[in-house]
Amino acid sequence: MQFLMIFFVVLGGAGLSVEAGLLGPLGAEVGELWATFSIFGVGAALTFILMLFFSPRNSPSFFAQPSWTLTGGVLGPIYVVILTIATPAVGIAMTMIGILAGQVAKSLLIDHYGLFGTAHRRIDTKRIVALLFIVAALVLMAQS
Amino acid sequence: MTLIMIMLAVIGGATLSMQAAINGQLGSKVGVFRSAFLTFSTGALITGLLIFYFEPPQAVTLLDVPKWQLLGAMCGVPYIVIMVLAVQRIGTAVATVAVIFGQLLMSMLIDNFGWLGNETIHFSASRIAAVICLAIALYFIHSSNKTSA
């Protein structure tokens, strides 16, 4: 059961790369913004259906939340537009590693300063070492 | 040029982890699917507005391209669902490493074979060295998540 779950998560990660792989060529054909729109349009339709059937019934309204917690959707398009622009230029693996470097670096900062209401957690050397190896991987990729 | 693109990708990753932190907060209050829906619908609205005012006319529209090119979101949304189910059962540490593993494996394959209409970038010694560096990085991310979780 555990093993099966891990397998599904690996598949989920592979799905993210396929998404990036589809986006690059699509953006070259119909324009970056249209390609981004196709992701968010279809995504909104799918998650609406999921929300309709699987969301807990009486969860609090969006309007009862502090407005900054609703800004996730503003950041999403930045990421997808970048995927569309970068993958044709440098390839999917390099884009993914760059994304990973940004993620790890930013998550260090978020945890360290306890930004966005997350638990305050000291900078942790293991993650810094991880970040260094990711940067090394980026350099190696750029050379090939 | 390559450098600018890598910088862009790094910035993209940074916005992604900001988004994850913010959505985590929201998801804990209103539920994961609701917060995912909010993300996608706000994203669709914003890109819609940007298209309306900034997108130059294109010769080809989304309706003209082969349908398989529109399956991107069908690969992204299952990820959200899988993560919701998996994190409860196998924990964040293992889930994070497994996702990144899947992402890298697939991106290497797509690059190497030029799948989905992408340019072919073959395996090379330095690419393999990069993968080894990443495996080490993953080990550290894993152990860091384990001690903090």
Rounded (5°) CA angle B79-B82-B88:
135
Q: What is the mean pLDDT of residues A21-44?
A: 88
Structure tokens at A144: 């090939």
pLDDT mean across residues, chain B: 82
Residues 110-139 of B with CB under 8 A from A: 110-111, 115-119, 121, 124-127, 129-131, 133-134, 136-138
Split at pLDDT 50, 70, 90, the class of B5 is: confident
pLDDT tens figures, B106-146: 888 888 887 887 777 777 888 888 888 888 887 887 777 76
Rounded (5°) CA angle A42-A97-B129:
140
Instruction: Note the ipTM here.
Output: 0.81
Asked if A38 and A81 count as a contact pair (C-beta separation under 8 A), the reply is no
Q: Are A42 and B140 an interchain contact pair (Cβ–Cβ within 8 Å)?
A: no
Q: Which amino acid is at A112?
A: H
- Model confidence, pTM: 0.81
Chain mean position to CA B121:
20
Q: What is the mean pLDDT of residues A77-96?
A: 82
Rounded distance between C-alpha atoms, residue B1 and residue B18, angstroms: 26
Q: Using a CB-CB distance cutoff of 8 angstroms, which residues of chain B are in contact with residue A85?
A: 5, 8
How far off is chain B from A139, nearest CA to CA, in Å? 8
Residues 89-108 of B with CB under 8 A from A: 89-90, 94-95, 98-108
Task: Give the number of other CB atoms < 10 A from CB of residue B33.
Answer: 24
Q: Are B43 and A97 an interchain contact pair (Cβ–Cβ within 8 Å)?
A: no
Chain mean position to CA B51:
22
The chain A residue lying nearest B36, using CA atoms, is A47
The chain B residue lying nearest A139, using CA atoms, is B130
Q: Are A98 and B138 an interchain contact pair (Cβ–Cβ within 8 Å)?
A: no
